[in-house]
Amino acid sequence: MVAVTSASAAEQERPARVSGIDKIERRRVALAESALKTLGELGYARTSLREIANNSEFTHGVVHYYFRDKIDLISYCVRYYKTKCARRYDEVVETATSGEELVTGFLAKMTQTLVDETPMHKLWYDLRAQSMFEEQLRPDVEAIDKLLEEMIWRILGRYADLTASMPTVDAPTAYALVDGLFEQAVVGYAANPDKTPDLLTDRLLQVLPKLVAP
């Protein structure tokens, strides 16, 4: 949690007590989690600070007390979110003892997060699109994109190891391919929640073997 910092935090030149700054951080996290819930449901465009406050246990004044402005809050949310999302497959990568096991575990985790955390993924693709128009979001989005790319690259590297082969595409390419499939699934999930996870699995199974070669 402490890894996430805010522009407002920089203004706390005197963190009188450790318990004090810690409490501030706790509030920020609570607000961010509440905000993320609202953002995931409504999307960036339709989410106002008041809406975030209403869906939380705080009033809209508190939001502005802990965050300089809207962008500061959103930015903090994004950074808070990223710390949770990019390590999703680490366990699978570490424990898998065969290529097939890795693929199975990877697909299971991916379809699971598709179903369980749909709002978060919708929000991520929304924010990434917004970052094309709102420069202030770009650094955070780029950082997350990089984390996700590395995540995919770790998986593919391990997959190559286990199958005694080598990746046949570079890291950005591998990420773009997998991400394209996943985004398609996230967008399609709204219209077809039943079939989408299986379709995603099927399509990843078509693609993954092509990304490595002896």
Instruction: Return residues touching DNA (CB under 7 A).
Output: 14, 16-17, 20, 23-24, 27, 46-51, 58-62, 64-66, 68-71
Token reading at 75: 């930015």
Nearer to its own copies, 20 or 139 (CB): 139
Q: Residue 40 CB, nearest distance to DNA (Å)?
A: 16
Among 1-9, 79-87, 99-107, 131-139, the segment contacting its own copies (CB under 8 A): 131-139
d(CA 153, CA 44): 29
d(CA 153, CA 165): 14
164 binds its own copies (CB under 8 A): no
HEC string of 106-144 equals HHHHHHHHHHHCHHHHHHHHHHHHHCCCCHHHHHHHHHH
Q: How many residues does the chain have?
A: 214
Q: Residue 194 CB, nearest distance to its own copies (Å)?
A: 16
Among 8-16, 83-91, 134-142, 158-166, the segment contacting its own copies (CB under 8 A): 134-142
d(CA 21, CA 93): 36
45 binds its own copies (CB under 8 A): yes
C-beta neighbour count of 171 within 10 angstroms:
16
**Site residues (CB under 8 A) for its own copies?**
42-46, 122, 125-126, 128-134, 138, 141-142, 145, 168-170, 172-173, 175-181, 183-184, 186-187, 190-191, 199, 203, 206-207, 210-211
